[in-house]
Structure 1
Amino acid sequence: MRLIAATWQPLWHDRPEAWLDRYRDALAEIAADRDTLVVFPEYAAIEAAFYGEVSLDARGWMIRGADHFETYCDGIRQLVRESGATILGGSGFARKDDKIVNRALFCSPEGEEWLEKLMPTPYERALDMAPGAGMPILDTRFGKLAAVICYDSEFPLIARRYAEAGAEILLVPSCTDTEQGASRVEIGCRARALEGQMIVAMAPLVGKVPGCEVIDVNLGQARIFCPPDGASPEDGTLARGQKNAPGFAILNTLSESLAQARKGTDVSVFAHWPESETAQNPVLLRNFH
């Protein structure tokens, strides 16, 4: 079983369907098949709207992105049928009732599920985007998995709920426009891997996208993390792609890595977590003035 996180750069195209050809070529490059789980980044879905002569502000791109979101998802479904791979498509603006949410399609030969961002960033809140609904844990042939989008990975209790419910793999599509932002998501992913003793795959958007204000500059590096413990790599990094450049982090030994994450370790943060939540040592304030 293979887990692959994409570092993806959206491009402008001369025809509406050209983005799908890029994805098809990328899946061919990594030989994606039934034993492959691929994760694309946050806001990668907007690439389906990158054609023609368009001049829009951020809110205009939110509407145009939502207008093309289902087209993007239909393309992901087609790629799954063609390759047999399981794909977490890039997220994008999507309509939900009278709101706009940040949504992604998880699609496999066995079925599909929606992922929505729970915690909009301040930038997304300024666009009046709404918080989404959490996805269920999916019991797949790769293992029990869940996913959170970018900013959600910085909130420990979100991932903790998934870990307590049995998730073994956490997928994290992301989009950040500064090195600080990329570092925050990386720190979050590393911490979630340690706390939940899970495999965590981080898939960021990269590159410059002239003409699209919402993803005009993007920085990051695809990486796959595990707890740095036992027989794992010393820094807990199982796979990495190029930094700030398109590519893939490819883990060819997913099953073995999952077995290692919670077995044969020197510590057990996941098992001992409940002890840290007890009231045995309440926090007190003492005045030293």
Structure 2
Amino acid sequence: MRLIAATWQPIWHDTPEGWLTRYREALTALEADRDTLMVFPEYTALEATFYGEVTRDAPLDAKAWMARGADHFDAYCAGIRSLVQDTGATILGGSGFARKGDAFVNRALFCAPEGEAWLEKQMPTPYERALDMVAGDAMPVLDTRFGKVAAVICYDSEFPLISRRCAEAGAEILLVPSCTDTEQGASRVEIGCRARALEGQMIVAMAPLVGEVPQCEVIDVNLGQARVFCPPDGAAPADGTLARGPRNAPGFAIVDDLSESLAMAKASVEVSVSRHWPESETDANPGVLPVLCLK
């Protein structure tokens, strides 16, 4: 079984279906099949809107892109479902703007031949809050043929308790689609993913958006590198990196031996953070510490 995290660069297309053709070609080149679990980055769903003359005469601002993205989100998800049906692969599609009542959330479709679930960003970034986006709902931990899978979107990975709840529910694989426009932002997500792998003793796959889309204010500049992490323990690589894609360029981080990697991630040799975590939340280690003034 394989785990593939995409470092994806959106491009402009001549037709509304151009993005789907591109996805199909990528899956064909990767020989994606029933034994493939694949994750696309945050805001990749916006590529379904990149066609036509939309920006030449009347450039869109961020809120107009939100509306355009939401108008195309159902069609994007329908395309992901068709890819799953055709290949048998399990795919976490790229997230995008979706309407939730009168508001917008950052949402992605997790789609497998056996069923599907929605993932929503729980912690909007300051930029997203400035656009009046709202917090979404967590995706349940899914018991799949690859193992128990959970997912969080970008900024969510920087909040330990969100991923901790996934680990406590049995998650073995955490998928993290991301979109950052600075090297600092990319580093923050990477640091979060490495920490979540260590704390939860699970595999964490980060899939970032890369490249420039000057026509789209929301994702005009994107930096990152797809990585797959596990706890750096036992037989694992010294830095805990199981696979990496190219930096700031399109490509894929691929783990071909997912079952073996899962077993390695759960093995406790020198550390066992997951088992010892409850000891950090006892009366001797309270959640809130007193402040002692020594001035």
Could you state the TM-score of these two structures normalised by the residue count of structure 1?
0.99
Q: Distance in 2 between matches of 1:221 and 1:134?
A: 25
Aligned residue for 1:20? 20
Q: Distance in 1 between matches of 2:193 and 2:290?
A: 31
- 1:99 maps onto 2:106 in alignment: no
Match of 1:285 among 254, 270, 291: 291
Aligned residue for 2:209? 205
* Stretch deviating more after TM superposition (275-284 or 113-122): 275-284
Aligned residue for 1:261? 265
Q: Distance in 2 between matches of 1:220 and 1:77?
A: 27
Find the residue that maps to 2:37 and give its secondary structure: strand
Amino acid at match of 1:26: A
Amino acid at match of 1:50: F
Q: Distance in 2 between matches of 1:240 and 1:32?
A: 18
Find the residue that maps to 1:113 and give its secondary structure: strand
- CA deviations 1:56-104 (Å, max 9, x no partner) are 0000000000000001000000000111100000000001111110000
Cα drift, residue 262 of structure 1: 1.5
Structure 1, unpaired ranges of 5+: none
> Which structure 2 residues correspond to residues 1-289 of structure 1 after superposition, within 5 A?
1-54=1-54, 55-282=59-286, 283-289=289-295
Q: Distance in 2 between matches of 1:115 and 1:264?
A: 30
Q: Distance in 2 between matches of 1:104 and 1:148?
A: 10
Cα drift, residue 239 of structure 1: 0.3
Cα drift, residue 264 of structure 1: 4.3
- CA deviations 1:189-238 (Å, max 9, x no partner) are 00000000000000000000021000000000000000000000000000
Q: Distance in 2 between matches of 1:91 and 1:253?
A: 27
Find the residue that maps to 2:218 and give its secondary structure: helix
Q: Distance in 2 between matches of 1:264 and 1:128?
A: 44
Q: Distance in 1 between matches of 2:106 and 2:160?
A: 20
Amino acid at match of 1:33: D
Find the residue that maps to 1:166 and give its secondary structure: coil
Amino acid at match of 1:172: V
Find the residue that maps to 1:12 and give its secondary structure: coil
Q: Distance in 1 between matches of 2:64 and 2:257?
A: 43
Find the residue that maps to 1:114 and give its secondary structure: strand
Percent identical among aligned pairs is: 78
Find the residue that maps to 1:213 and give its secondary structure: coil
Cα drift, residue 281 of structure 1: 4.2
Find the residue that maps to 1:128 and give its secondary structure: coil
Cα drift, residue 285 of structure 1: 2.5
Amino acid at match of 1:52: G
Q: Distance in 2 between matches of 1:115 and 1:285?
A: 39
Q: Distance in 1 between matches of 2:285 and 2:111?
A: 45
* Stretch deviating more after TM superposition (254-263 or 32-41): 254-263
Find the residue that maps to 1:215 and give its secondary structure: coil
Cα drift, residue 277 of structure 1: 1.2
Q: Distance in 2 between matches of 1:52 and 1:197?
A: 46
